């Protein structure tokens, strides 16, 4: 697949042409990746609804219990930067099979966990397999889909990490209404095994491995930087109740130092083409600004999924079954709005979508910060559906605008950084919201809160989210159309003619497992 020339990009393009059609074979590759990514990301927030049950069963505090989710997100944030190396070094099919196998091992470990520590360990192994899926899906989509269809296809691919975690709590509530929390993992195993078999049968390679080496120092600094930040941000809630083992400032300081060292390490490595994460992606404003805004969008969207089940259970008195039913419409709204926003993006760009969505988003957060036991469940349901719809309307355009601003050779690094930001923000902000929740409750002891304590805790958590949402409102005012170096400088949200991947190239990849199905000129 080659980029159009500058003259071609400048010429008006028809609304529909052959260059915008998905090449034969590409839909199958992306379809298998979408299904598998959905399955593994479904587990991201699966234990949010089960958190009150886990707190009671294992006798842990809310700040400790939230590590079944924060630990998953943190592991993802630490390992996702390595996905750029993995995608360059190994065949797509090999990456898929190893990653999904790791996920299955972690799921099995979590299902049989005798202690809370083993459960967290199982979640960490799950996340180790999950980490590569989103960057792999995003990079494959950007490489194989013509520019005129990227808005629609990226809307679908970016809906996966938002729809799946949103449906996770809903599924969890339904299962927990009749079964033990262990069945959340037991029921997932056969589905994951079927996905593994499907990938082994149908998935073929569409990339050529490069002779790159893994920089272990970068991996270590990534773990220290991201791990220290998230761990430090999780401690204020425990500190307020006298249970924190150390001061929050120490791990935060260590994390910041580690993060700075990680960035400095990448600069000489990227000159040799062996960077763990190429920092040049942040030199392009078209990429850097959307990803900065996504820090706060993803942080609020994913992070609040840790708090919402606690609020709905303890303030409004919903049962686990009712809680699961409550969360289903929000997941459906994300899917619908992500698809619609992708179609609109291809015509008008991001700003007409993200600015109104951010205003609606803020209004809902303010309403949620006033919730109490007298607030009707119907009002809360409407508010949550509007909140998730507004989030989806921002998520896909921001992702497409950012990725469209990069050269093709930087796609693996850009998708790895974008996925890292989403998971790190979700883990960090989830820890912040739990800390705000714990501090706001005023409780000094671990255990279930009273209704008044839970109401006060909810106000603190949602008010914190509202303040964070103000940053999003300011940021989206400056997000605009992105000129894509990968497509000869054309504006990616306008239809441009791109030579499709041919039937021969995809068929050749299926036959040899090592051929290149498509190449995009940098």
Q: What is the DSSP string of 189-205?
A: HHHHHHHHHHHHHH---
Q: Which tokens in the block code for residue 313?
A: 């259970």
Identify the residue with better confidence: 287 or 84.
287
Identify the residue with better confidence: 296 or 407.
296
Residue 343 C-alpha from the chain's centroid: 21
Distance CA 63, CA 54 (A): 12
Q: What is the mean pLDDT of residues 214-240?
A: 77
Q: What is the mean pLDDT of residues 497-504?
A: 32
Contact 143, 159 (CB under 8 A): no
**By mean pLDDT, which of 334-338, 361-365, 482-486 is the weakest?**
482-486
Kindly list the domain boundaries of the chain, sorted by start residue. Answer: 6-512
Q: What is the structure's pLDDT at 18?
A: 44
Contact 458, 315 (CB under 8 A): yes
What pTM did the predictor assign? 0.67
Q: What is the mean pLDDT of residues 4-26?
A: 46
Distance CA 96, CA 205 (A): 10
Residue 3 has pLDDT above 80, yes or no: no
Residue 432 has pLDDT above 90, yes or no: no
Q: Which residues contact 515 (CB under 8 A, 6 or more apart)?
A: 205, 208, 505, 508, 509
Identify the residue with better confidence: 389 or 276.
389
Token pair 């479904």: residue: 42
Distance CA 34, CA 201 (A): 16
Residue 434 has pLDDT above 60, yes or no: yes
Sign of the Cα torsion 315, 329, 129, 341 reads negative
Q: What is the structure's pLDDT at 118?
A: 93
pLDDT in tens, 302-341: 888 778 888 888 888 888 778 778 878 887 888 788 778 8
Share of the chain above pLDDT 90, in %: 19
Q: Which fold has domain 6-512?
A: Growth Hormone; Chain: A; (1.20.1250)
Sign of the Cα torsion 358, 347, 137, 283 reads negative
Q: What is the structure's pLDDT at 511?
A: 36
């Amino acid at each position: 697949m080659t980029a159009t020339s500058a003259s071609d990009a400048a010429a008006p393009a028809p609304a529909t042409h052959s260059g915008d059609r998905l090449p034969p074979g590409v839909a199958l590759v992306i379809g298998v990746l979408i299904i598998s990514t959905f399955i593994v990301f479904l587990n991201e927030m699966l234990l949010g609804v089960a958190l009150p049950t886990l707190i009671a069963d294992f006798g842990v505090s809310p700040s400790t219990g939230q590590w079944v989710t924060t630990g998953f997100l943190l592991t993802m944030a630490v390992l996702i930067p390595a996905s750029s190396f993995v995608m360059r070094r190994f065949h797509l099919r090999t990456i898929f099979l190893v990653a999904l196998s790791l996920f299955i091992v972690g799921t099995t470990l979590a299902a049989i966990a005798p202690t809370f520590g083993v459960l967290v360990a199982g979640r960490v192994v799950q996340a180790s397999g999950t980490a590569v899926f989103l960057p792999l899906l995003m990079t494959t989509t950007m490489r194989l889909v013509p520019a005129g269809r990227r808005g629609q296809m990226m809307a679908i691919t970016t809906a996966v990490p938002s729809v799946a975690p949103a449906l996770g709590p809903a599924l969890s509530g339904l299962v927990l209404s009749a079964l033990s929390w262990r069945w959340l993992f037991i029921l997932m195993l056969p589905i994951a095994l079927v996905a593994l078999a499907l990938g082994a049968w149908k998935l073929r390679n569409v990339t050529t491995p490069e002779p790159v080496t893994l920089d272990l120092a970068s991996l270590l600094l990534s773990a220290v930087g991201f791990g220290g930040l998230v761990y430090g941000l999780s401690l204020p809630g425990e500190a307020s109740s006298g249970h924190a083992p150390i001061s929050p400032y120490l791990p935060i300081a260590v994390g910041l130092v580690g993060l700075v060292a990680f960035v400095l390490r990448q600069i000489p490595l990227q000159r040799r083409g062996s960077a763990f994460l190429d920092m040049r992606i942040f030199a392009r404003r078209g990429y850097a600004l959307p990803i900065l805004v996504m820090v706060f969008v993803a942080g609020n969207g994913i992070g609040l999924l840790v708090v919402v089940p606690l609020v709905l259970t303890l303030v409004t008195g919903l049962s686990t079954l009712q809680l699961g039913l409550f969360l289903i419409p929000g997941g459906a709204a994300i899917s619908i709005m992500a698809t619609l926003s992708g179609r609109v993006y291809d015509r008008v760009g991001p700003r007409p979508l993200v600015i109104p969505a951010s205003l609606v988003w803020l209004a809902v957060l303010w309403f949620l910060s006033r919730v109490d036991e007298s607030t009707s469940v119907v009002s809360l349901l409407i508010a949550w559906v509007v909140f998730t719809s507004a989030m989806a309307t921002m998520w896909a355009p921001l992702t497409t605008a950012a990725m469209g601003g990069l050269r093709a050779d930087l796609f693996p690094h850009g998708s790895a950084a974008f996925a890292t930001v989403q998971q790190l923000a979700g883990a960090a902000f989830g820890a912040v919201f739990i800390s705000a929740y714990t501090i706001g409750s005023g409780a000094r002891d671990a255990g279930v809160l009273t209704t008044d304590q839970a109401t006060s805790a909810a106000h603190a958590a949602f008010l914190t989210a509202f303040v964070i949402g103000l940053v999003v409102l300011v940021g989206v005012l400056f997000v605009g159309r992105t000129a894509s170096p990968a497509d000869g400088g054309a504006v990616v949200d306008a239809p441009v003619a791109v030579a499709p991947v041919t039937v021969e190239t995809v068929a050749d990849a299926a036959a040899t497992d090592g051929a290149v199905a498509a190449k995009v000129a940098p």
